[in-house]
Structure 1
Amino acid sequence: MCQGFSAPSPPHTVAPSFTLTLTLTLTLTLTLLLHLLTPVSAWRPWPQNNQMNVTDYAFGDSKKYEGSSEFVKLRYHMGPVLTTNITVHTIWYGNWERNQKKIIREFINSISASDAPHPSVAGWWKTVQLYTDQTGANISKTVRLGEEKNDRFYSHGKSLTRLSIQSVIKSAITAKTRPLPINPKSGLYLVLTADDVYVQEFCSSVCGFHYFTFPSLVGYTLPYAWVGNSAKFCPGQCAYPFAVPAYIPNHKPFKSPNGDVGVDGMISVIGHEMAEIASNPLANAWYAGQDPSFPVEIADLCEGIYGTGGGGAYTGQVLDARDGATYNMNGIRRKYLVQWVWSHVLSYCTGPNALDQ
């Protein structure tokens, strides 16, 4: 997740001296820039190469990834979670093929599909549902597709900054024709960029992130996530394990379950970000660590873990489809490979394909 804040308006008091005013202005501006530019959760699905993994930060010296660990200090910080039925409003930025949209839509619809075969996407979401707000209300089990907006003409260009993602959302909710509905309480805005769109820090440190919009920029505080299609830029980084980084020799990539490496790679990132938005939409709910500008969230704790025994470069025990594709859960009509999330009840990462279930 990426997190920051808008500088507050000054109180109605006697004006300070020019020097003090300038000092306060510079301090607020610098603080704002630091929050905007510092990635809070630079999630990457591939094994780390000489970089600190968030699991290193969260576990200390422990390497007991999906097993129980007393090193994880995940705490609730009294903020809201998404307890009302969640509606996902999607912005398709750039050119998308019809089948690519279907793969992603069906994944989102599968989150609430209780009739999907075991192990299911809905079974994976049950771990997310365990998280509650201060009233004891659980995260909603209902996740549905809302309105969609197509931005085929790249209205903000093919090179986006983190902040311009919010401008894309503003354009979608203020469009003259078929604007997206404004739903601050239970809406989740999902910006998906096509494979020819570059977003700040894409590939080098992030494959996706989530945040909330600034009222000063968008007009509302709306939880949102961005996920990019890495097929052209960096499939070895953001579509792992369906593509493999160059620094891992003699490692054969898995066959993607839906025949599209870029989109199948996006699915796990989308799941990661949705789980974290639901449990920490405003950066003040569920996370590990002392600094809300650098939280380790429920999906960060399980980077690269897709099955029992997972950790490091090993995905864990996953499943093979009849056509040789690799997956770990079933949707309504498709199969998907989605990383696990942390259970604060069990105190380890888990998923519907866990061998101890």
Structure 2
Amino acid sequence: MLRLIHHLLPLLLILLFTAAQQVHSWRPWPNAVNNNSRSSTADFRFGPSKKFEGSSEFVDLKYHMGPVMTTNITVHIIWYGKWQPSQKRIIREFINSISADSVKPPSVSGWWKTVQLYTDQTGSNISRTVKIGSEKNDRFYSHGKSLTRLSVQSVIKSFITARTKPLPVTPKNGIYLLLTSPDVYVQDFCQQVCGFHYFTFPSIVGYTLPYAWVGNSAKLCPGICAYPFAVPTYIPGLKPVKAPNGDVGVEGMISVIAHEIAELVTNPLVNAWYAGPDPIAPVEIADLCEGIYGTGGGGSYTGQMLEGRDGATFNVNGIRRQFLIQWVWNHVVNYCTGPNALDQ
């Protein structure tokens, strides 16, 4: 109750002085209804404590002494399937915005500062620098339009061993991001996950490399993976919010990409920062804040988000665009935080 009062007082004051900038929240978070998840590792073992920004007493996030990414981080992108140039630009600009300190708040780089709080056993923080490295296109679906988790690793292998311009092998500071187009199905997509991260097996790829997959849900399940820009069909009367960049599938991907990158850099080999007893299915810093996009978020509420002049919904500014991304767990204050918090 004290924390609730702590949140409400600043909220009332801010609303009085910033009436020109609209904020609103959305309900319900669809996963609370059908138990689908934006991440392969999310579960409900912490009950409400992992869903509400102010509830922290039962969250047991620990450091398990594994490596985190403390040197300049490079994201190598594999565009699997058919992508429009405009779609690629949106995703590139989000990733490039992570290190763009000159952007006005609330910014993507402000969101990343929470991720930077995490350290390794030497006390070194997560790197502030995230940049795009090499990019490869797979327009002809080299491994088909239906991928398993293991075949995702085979796709990565095919590009780091390519005869011409292979992806560089950078296991200490490289992230290999496989993005699949709307006509590609990946194992458990829509049913349990919208994206996942892990590390490649030397027996398959030849190296241990941190990687993530995120799918474009525009055709398969936008109401699950692109919420709140699309809404589930099983909730009649609920209206979607307007996407800031005009592409619902890609807008949904942006938040999942943010989710997976935040977890990859803090838990690249699944032996660093996570909660829960099971390293096979760890609850990580983005899982703990699943569905929270602003102050008051938790349970079935996304929290207070911003509305642009064109009516689009967002919570962070990028270099040239606005985005909606979920908050992450701040282990210093023991609750979910984001740069658009009304009490900062």
The answer to whether TM tops 0.5 is yes
* CA shift digits 1:193-229 (9 cap, x unpaired): 0010000110011000000000011000000000000
1:343 aligns with one of 316, 324, 330: 330
Q: Does the residue aligned with 2:45 lie in a helix, a strand or coil? A: helix
**Once the two structures are superposed, what CA deviation does each residue of 1:44-91 show, in whole Å capped at 9, x if it has no partner?**
x74322438746312x46476001421100000000000010000000
Distance 1:83 1:246 in 2: 42
- Aligned runs of 1:44-55 on 2, under 5 Å? 46-51=30-35, 54=42
Q: Distance in 2 between matches of 1:63 and 1:222?
A: 29
The CA distance in 2 between the partners of 1:141 and 1:355, in whole Å, is: 24
- In 2 relative to 1, CA 64–163 (structure 1 residues): closer, same or farther, beyond 3 Å? closer
C-alpha distance in 2, partners of 1:161/1:55? 21
CA distance in 2, matches of 1:63, 1:196: 33
Does the alignment pair 1:94 with 2:78? Answer: no
Q: Hey, what's the Cα distance between the residues in 2 that align with 1:278 and 1:64? A: 22
1:255, 1:324 within 8 Å by CA — same for their partners in 2?
yes
Taking the aligned partners of 1:63 and 1:263, their CA distance within structure 2 comes to 26
Query: Aligned partners of 2:319, 2:116: CA distance in 1, in Å?
Result: 19
Contact 1:173 1:180 in 2 (8 A): yes
1:1-357 residue pairs with structure 2 within 5 A? 46-51=30-35, 54=42, 56-58=44-46, 60=47, 62=49, 65-357=52-344
Contact 2:49–2:57 under 8 Å retained in 1: no
Question: 2:253 & 2:163 partners in 1: Cα distance?
Answer: 30
| 3-state SS, counterpart of residue 132 of structure 2 | strand
Give 5+ residue unaligned stretches, structure 2.
1-28
Please tell me whether the aligned partners of residues 55 and 302 of structure 1 are also in contact (alpha carbons under 8 angstroms). no
CA distance in 2, matches of 1:281, 1:273: 10
- 8 Å contact 1:243–1:261 — kept in the other structure? yes
The aligned counterpart of 1:21 is none
What is the SS of the residue equivalent to 1:168?
Answer: helix
Distance (Å, rounded) in 2 between the aligned partners of 1:226 and 1:52? 17
Runs of 4+ in 1 over 6 A off after TM superposition: none
Q: d(CA) in 2 for partners of 1:64 and 1:297? A: 13
Residues in 1 aligned to 2:35 and 2:74: alpha-carbon distance in whole angstroms:
36
The alpha carbon displacement at 1:178 in A equals 1.3
Q: Corresponding residue for 2:9? A: none
Partner SS, residue 49 of structure 1 = helix
Distance in 1 between residues matched to 2:50 and 2:334, nearest whole Å:
14
The 8 Å contact of residues 68 and 346 in structure 1, kept in 2 or not, is answered as: no
State the AA in 2 paired with 1:152. Answer: R
TM-score normalised by structure 2 residue count? 0.88
Aligned-pair CA distance for 1:248: 1.8
Aligned partner of residue 136 in structure 2, secondary structure: strand
Percentage identity across paired residues of the two chains: 75
- Residues 291, 63 of structure 1: alpha-carbon distance in 2 compared, 3 angstrom cutoff: closer
Secondary structure of 1:57's aligned partner: coil
Q: Cα distance, 1:176 vs. partner?
A: 1.2
Amino acid at match of 1:319: L
Amino acid paired to 1:341 = V
Task: Give me the whole-angstrom Cα distance separating, in 1, the residues matched to 2:273 and 2:88.
Answer: 31
- Give the superposition deviation at 1:251: 1.0
Contact 1:90 1:191 in 2 (8 A): yes
Structure 1 residue 281: Cα displacement: 0.3
Tell me the SS of whatever aligns to 1:56: coil
| Matched length | 312
Q: 2-side partners of 1:123 and 1:64: how far apart?
A: 22
**Mapped partners of 1:46, 1:257: distance in 2:** 21
**Structure 2 Cα separation of the partners of residues 134 and 127 of structure 1:** 18
Give the C-alpha shift of residue 249 in structure 1.
2.0
Distance 1:139 1:63, change over 3 A: closer
**Aligned residues of 2:36 and 2:191 also touching (Cα < 8 A):** no
Amino acid at match of 1:331: G
What is the alpha-carbon distance in structure 2 between the residues aligned to residue 86 and residue 217 of structure 1? 24
**Alpha-carbon distance in 1 for matches of 2:70, 2:338:** 21
